[in-house]
Chain A
Amino acid sequence: DTGVSQDPRHKITKRGQNVTFRCDPISEHNRLYWYRQTLGQGPEFLTYFQNEAQLEKSRLLSDRFSAERPKGSFSTLEIQRTEQGDSAMYLCASTRGAVTDTQYFGPGTRLTVL
């Protein structure tokens, strides 16, 4: 257990529905990252927060995706109008400082879009 928690662990939804995932980072960590991982691939960067500010977003993060980190604590990732291509493992990681510091990952949320 790294101290990073994610909820839910699994989510099955129908195409077109909205889903929201939550990540609770290690409490003293300022940075929080979201990644997406599909079968046979490494995690792909989606976005990151420094405290409550969202500082960088990937091109993978279409306008159907939105992330927040109110008060610089937990973060949520929402996917609107889900598509089958959104099926993946969504991972959250936190770190104390810069990208050169170790990122500690949560257990992930497995999303299946039917």
Chain B
Amino acid sequence: EDQVTQSPEALRLQEGESSSLNCSYTVSGLRGLFWYRQDPGKGPEFLFTLYSAGEEKEKERLKATLTKKESFLHITAPKPEDSATYLCAVPLQGGSEKLVFGKGTKLTVNP
């Protein structure tokens, strides 16, 4: 059973068209949720960490929010340079030191 599910798999937006990406998780006792951005052929780039329900963090056009079952990455007035794959990840439950990633959402922003 997937413990981290991201939707949609792919999203096409026009420049300036705001939207949200979803990351739902099934691990209990959440110890943190991480958002990364990944450009083709490169390693993931850290964006945000959220630790508790209700927490929000912002960076430029991105805002991440967290509930008890899911996280949203809101993108406001996106630009073509925001095109990338956005990954979320959570530590596995039970005290494991593994980080489990979703499959990502591939965002394309057209000019």
Within residues 83 to 111 of chain B, which ones have a CB less than 8 A from any CB in chain A?
Answer: 87, 89, 91, 96-104
| Top 10 closest pairs, chain A to chain B, by CB | A42-B101, A105-B43, A99-B97, A99-B91, A45-B98, A100-B32, A105-B44, A108-B43, A100-B31, A107-B43
Q: Would you give the shortest CB distance from B6 to chain A, in whole angstroms?
A: 8
A42:B43 contact, CB within 8 angstroms: no
Instruction: Specify which chain B residues have a CB less than 8 angstroms from the CB of A45 in the assembled complex.
Output: 98-100
Chain A positions within 8 Å of B, measured between CB atoms, are: 2, 4, 6, 33, 40-45, 48, 55-56, 58, 91, 93, 98-100, 102-108, 110
Instruction: Give complex CA distance A98, B42 in Å.
Output: 24
> How many CB-defined contacts (below 8 Å) exist between A and B?
64
Instruction: Specify which chain A residues have a CB less than 8 angstroms from the CB of B41 in the assembled complex.
Output: 108, 110
Instruction: Specify which chain B residues have a CB less than 8 angstroms from the CB of A106 in the assembled complex.
Output: 43
Q: Would you give the shortest CB distance from A107 to chain B, in whole angstroms?
A: 5
Instruction: Specify which chain B residues have a CB less than 8 angstroms from the CB of A100 in the assembled complex.
Output: 31-32, 51, 91
Instruction: Give complex CA distance A107, B28 in Å.
Output: 31
Q: Would you give the shortest CB distance from B55 to chain A, in whole angstroms?
A: 14
The residue from A40, A48, A105 contacting B45, defined by CB atoms under 8 A apart = A105
